[in-house]
Amino acid sequence: MWKTFTRKLKAFVPYFFVMIVLGSLSYILVYQASFLPNGYKIISQQNNELTIKLFNLIGKEKSIQTISLGKDDAWKVEQIEYDVKRQNDSLWMIFSFVSISATLIVMYVRNGMRVWKAIFQSNLIFAILIPLVSLKSAWHSIQSLISR
């Protein structure tokens, strides 16, 4: 029993390190390199004025928008900051989960599992859908607060 456990552990360790590297690369991609497809990034914030950078579908800068809000709308600034943070977290989760699921698919296929069964076993569908709901909600909230 101990031999089978150590054998399985030795087989899993390289994939585990690959998953850690993929999660770290996703973090660097979103938070450090600001790869935000269809996303928003707060460039500067003064009292009730925000400067936001908008990105297109492929993550390139589309435009920079300055939003001036009244004293009564200070809550909107905080809400936009929260939604931008939630957007970044959701994008990081999508990039990490999809890359980890792809690694699991490769691992399963190498062990002899059929491709479609490996896709379902790796939970790729949930890896995309669960963070996508939060991401879509954050985008909608930011868009509605900016357009007012």
Contact 44, 67 (CB under 8 A): no
> Around Cβ 64, how many Cβ atoms within 10 Å?
11
Q: Which helix (H) or strand (E) holds 97?
A: helix 74-110
In the block, residue with structure tokens 């390190």? 17
CA distance 51 to 67: 6
Taking only the tens place, the pLDDT of each residue in 22-41 is 999 999 999 999 899 989 99
Taking only the tens place, the pLDDT of each residue in 53-110 is 999 888 888 888 888 888 888 888 889 999 999 999 999 999 999 999 998 899 899 9
Q: What is the pTM of this model?
A: 0.86
Q: Which helix (H) or strand (E) holds 43?
A: strand 40-46
Domain boundaries, given as residue ranges, for the chain:
12-35+74-147
